């Protein structure tokens, strides 16, 4: 075994974005590791351009891998069993209504919800099932071991899996455990520990905040001493946002916003929310009628990821001719420029509107009054299509309980809440501060360093 080789899984676009930013986890690792330490990035060919800058150091190599394929009826049945060893508010929504409003409820499997609940409330209450039975059955059932040769070739001392709740990281951890290799893992998103049970434990788990630590212990049967809170690496730039902030004149000119206007920023909920055009049409009409008593622009940030771009364009087509509505369709490739645009959007916004999403936390970091849409526009929706279903997601309950975000229940409620917060941005300020403290751990710009230090510490202990 090479005691100084670290494997890092970078097959997820989100995990890669969280770790590969300038000054982020990967840079901290490569820069601060002893000279004899080597890193093997397990990734996809499409991600090579974003990792190119690390290859020049001579201590980093790339290996292209694919996620494991389906392994037959027994494997599918076992995955179903272990996934529902937990059944939270989030799991209930996914099992009965589903997250995306443009798909059948629960993928067409709503009838299985009682069985899922039963598994969680019988087998899921037995700790030994989670920490002993499931891992052993996993080794017996998932026997093809697609990454065995990779581990035998490099013989690493440590595997870092930053997307521990999904494949291929689950299978990579399983192979590392089979070969006696130390493991450290992290959930890439703050909602990943309360959806489904993760069948393979890492030796040390990194989480972004205290609520996630509780989920790791209570839902996934980790011991408290094996879980470390580190914060959000992707939020590190917010602690130094002045370095990325555009001058207001440049920002307004770039998007065609009148320089003196107040800005209502709307962050799209994509396919999770069907009635955003209704909401935005009303806001644009209120602006035109002077309801907010000062010139105002509605600035819309659609969801620009490839799979939803066409749907977003159709959804907002009727708004593109409004003189009071401005869109940011930019999907820039330069990382620093992308961060500059996003930081400037939040900084210059007077009020932020979103669905039940991470935007609420980011807006609180920037101390922006935030409204969450809790009604379905002009259409009466079935529950599986209604935006209100997302309110029951377990991870977002922490945001709602803080009182930092106002959920609006009607057009009249929205108009009043917007007017009040445009007039008095200090509303709920103390609660926003408490939300940031609770959900971000420490917003000190050092989360990436804490992650890197934890990885190198595990390497020393391996």
In order of 24, 102, 184, 195, 277, the CA distances from 308 in angstroms are: 28, 11, 33, 23, 16
Q: What average pLDDT does the segment 338-343 reach?
A: 88
Q: What is the pLDDT, as a whole number, of residue 220?
A: 98
Q: What is the pLDDT, as a whole number, of residue 70?
A: 65
Contact between 459 and 6 under an 8 Å Cβ cutoff? The reply is yes
Phi, psi of 204 (to 5 degrees): -135, 130
Contact between 441 and 209 under an 8 Å Cβ cutoff? The reply is yes
Kindly report the CA angle at 174 between 168 and 176, in degrees rounded to 5? 100
Q: What is the CATH number of domain 5-68+144-232+444-461?
A: 3.40.50.2000
Q: What is the pLDDT, as a whole number, of residue 355?
A: 87
Contact between 181 and 207 under an 8 Å Cβ cutoff? The reply is no
Tokens of 255: 């998007």
Q: What average pLDDT does the segment 109-116 reach?
A: 92
pTM to 2 decimals?
0.93
Task: Look at residue 41 and tell me whether its pLDDT is greater than 80.
Answer: yes
Q: What is the pLDDT, as a whole number, of residue 353?
A: 96
Strand pairing category for 296-301 and 325-327: parallel
Tokens of 363: 């807006």
Task: Look at residue 163 and tell me whether its pLDDT is greater than 70.
Answer: yes
Q: What is the pLDDT, as a whole number, of residue 415?
A: 98
Task: Look at residue 306 and tell me whether its pLDDT is greater than 60.
Answer: no
Q: What is the pLDDT of residues 193-207, one digit of tens each?
A: 999 999 999 999 999
Closest residue by Cα to residue 211 from 396, 356, 363: 396
As a whole number, the mean pLDDT across the chain is 92
Q: Where in the chain do CATH 3.40.50.2000 domains reside?
A: 5-68+144-232+444-461, 237-440
Distance CA 57, CA 30 (A): 8
Q: What is the CATH number of domain 237-440?
A: 3.40.50.2000
Q: Considering only 55-59, 61-65, 130-134, which range has the smallest mean pLDDT?
A: 55-59
Q: What is the pLDDT, as a whole number, of residue 37?
A: 96
Task: Look at residue 69 and tell me whether its pLDDT is greater than 80.
Answer: no
Contact between 161 and 180 under an 8 Å Cβ cutoff? The reply is no
Phi, psi of 214 (to 5 degrees): -60, -40
Task: Look at residue 336 and tell me whether its pLDDT is greater than 80.
Answer: no
Q: What is the pLDDT of residues 368-409, one digit of tens each?
A: 999 999 999 888 888 878 888 888 889 999 999 999 999 999
Q: What percent of the chain is modeled with pLDDT above 70?
A: 95
Distance CA 247, CA 218 (A): 46
Q: What is the pLDDT of residues 251-297, one digit of tens each?
A: 999 999 999 999 999 998 766 777 889 999 999 999 999 999 999 99
Q: What is the pLDDT, as a whole number, of residue 92?
A: 92
Q: What is the pLDDT of residues 405-453, one digit of tens each?
A: 999 999 999 999 999 999 999 999 999 999 999 999 999 999 999 999 9
């Amino acid at each position: 075994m090479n005691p100084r080789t670290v494997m890092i899984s970078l097959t997820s676009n989100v995990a890669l974005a969280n770790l590969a930013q300038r000054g982020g986890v990967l840079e901290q690792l490569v820069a601060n590791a002893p000279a004899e330490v080597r890193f093997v990035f397990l990734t996809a060919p499409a991600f090579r351009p974003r990792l190119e800058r690390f290859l020049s150091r001579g201590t980093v190599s790339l290996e292209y891998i694919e996620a494991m394929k389906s392994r037959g009826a027994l494997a599918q049945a076992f995955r179903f069993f272990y996934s529902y060893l937990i059944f939270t508010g989030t799991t209930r929504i996914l099992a009965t209504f589903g997250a995306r409003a443009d798909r059948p409820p629960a993928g067409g499997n709503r009838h299985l919800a009682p069985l899922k609940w039963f598994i969680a409330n019988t087998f899921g209450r037995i700790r030994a099932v989670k920490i002993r039975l499931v891992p052993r059955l996993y080794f017996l059932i998932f026997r093809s071991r697609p990454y065995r040769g990779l581990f035998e070739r490099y013989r690493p001392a440590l595997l870092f899996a930053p997307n521990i709740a999904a494949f291929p990281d689950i299978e990579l951890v399983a192979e590392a455990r089979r070969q006696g290799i130390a493991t450290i893992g992290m959930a890439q998103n703050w909602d990943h520990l309360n959806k489904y049970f993760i069948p393979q434990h890492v030796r040390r788990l990194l989480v972004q905040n205290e609520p996630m630590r509780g989920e790791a212990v209570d839902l996934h049967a980790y011991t408290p001493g094996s879980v470390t809170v580190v914060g959000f690496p992707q939020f590190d730039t917010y602690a130094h946002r002045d370095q990325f902030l555009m001058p207001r004149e440049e920002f307004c000119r770039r998007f065609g916003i009148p320089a003196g206007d107040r800005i209502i920023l709307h962050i799209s909920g994509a396919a999770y929310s069907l009635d955003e055009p209704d909401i935005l049409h009303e806001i644009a009409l209120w602006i035109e009628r002077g309801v907010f008593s000062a010139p105002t622009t509605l600035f819309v940030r659609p969801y620009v990821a490839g799979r939803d771009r066409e749907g977003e364009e159709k959804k907002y087509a009727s708004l593109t001719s409004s003189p009071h509505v401005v869109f940011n369709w930019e999907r820039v490739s330069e990382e620093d420029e992308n961060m500059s645009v996003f930081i400037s959007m939040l900084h210059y916004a007077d009020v932020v509107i979103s669905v039940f999403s991470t935007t609420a936390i980011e807006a609180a970091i920037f101390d922006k009054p935030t409204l969450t849409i809790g009604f379905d526009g002009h259409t009466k929706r079935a529950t599986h299509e209604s935006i209100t279903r997302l309110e029951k997601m377990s991870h977002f309950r922490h945001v709602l309980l803080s009182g930092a975000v106002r959920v609006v229940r009607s057009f009249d409620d929205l108009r009043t809440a917007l007017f009040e917060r445009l007039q008095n941005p200090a509303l709920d300020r103390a609660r926003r501060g408490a939300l940031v403290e609770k959900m971000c751990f420490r917003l000190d710009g050092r989360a990436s360093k804490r992650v890197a230090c934890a990885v190198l510490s595990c390497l020393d202990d391996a």
